[in-house]
Amino acid sequence: MNQIVKQKPELQLFQNEDFGSIRTVILNGEPWFVAADVCRILEHSNPTIAMNSLEDFEKAKLNLGLQGGDTNIISESGFYTLVLRSRKPIAKPFRIWVTSDVLPTIRKTGKYIAPSENKVETMLSDMNCNMKIVYAQINNMEEMIGEQNTMLERVVDNMTLSTRQQQQIYKTAKDRINHLLNGAHSKEYKENSKSYFINLWNNMKSKFGCGSSYKDLNPIYFEEAMNFISSWKYEEN
């Protein structure tokens, strides 16, 4: 269940010519993102499934004074979860922009400052000294971000489904087989459900390479697997 946040912090808008706009707020000194904006940029076909895949501490509802009532927001952890699970080509450049530009600036100033707003002439008033310092800091930051991104990608490669995601996968599979066999109390279900489950899990393991069990599925494929199960049909071996 999403947290309900009663405070009404200032809404900040970030603009990028490649991704469009994304809104954020600061809660208890930490950045939170408007979920609809992140899902739009990542081209999530079903934002509800994307939100349900997050842990409770990664999402909340906040009254931002927008139409439609409370707004779904996600924490920085939730942002990483959605971005790293996405298979869309835009996910990586989007992540790099947020992690290398937006978040560092927010942590330093408490708000986002677009590059065009920076007073470069002030920062580099002493060209012989300050420029060297600035470039050295930029290079160090790029190296640190590159190392962090590599570590994150390695972690993601070895992730498996959370308990909640396993339950969602199983429930979706059960609902699908119930539908195909005319309900859990039907004669068809009693006679064929076992073979249908085996067939479904084998199809999933073959498609997603998830080892000996659907529970070993990498979370990056969670949304795709849910869609696969929802439209799955029994195939004779």
Q: What ranges do the domains of the chain cover? A: 3-114, 163-230
Containing 180, the helix (H) or strand (E) segment is helix 163-180
Query: Which of helix, strand or coil describes residue 57?
Result: helix
Would you state the structure tokens that stand for residue 202, as one six-digit string?
């084998």
Tokens of 117: 């707003």
What does the pLDDT profile of the chain (237 residues) look like in tens digits? Answer: 455 445 566 788 888 888 888 898 888 888 899 999 999 999 988 888 888 889 988 999 888 777 667 889 999 989 999 998 888 899 999 999 888 888 887 777 665 555 555 544 445 445 545 556 666 676 677 677 767 766 666 655 567 888 899 999 999 999 999 999 999 899 999 999 999 999 999 999 888 888 778 888 888 888 999 999 999 998 876
Token output for 112: 């986002």
DSSP 8-state secondary structure symbol assigned to residue 218: -
Domain boundaries 3-114, CATH class: alpha beta
Report the amino acid identity of residue 155.
Answer: V
Strands 71-75 vs 30-34: parallel, antiparallel or unpaired = antiparallel
Give the pLDDT score at 154.
63
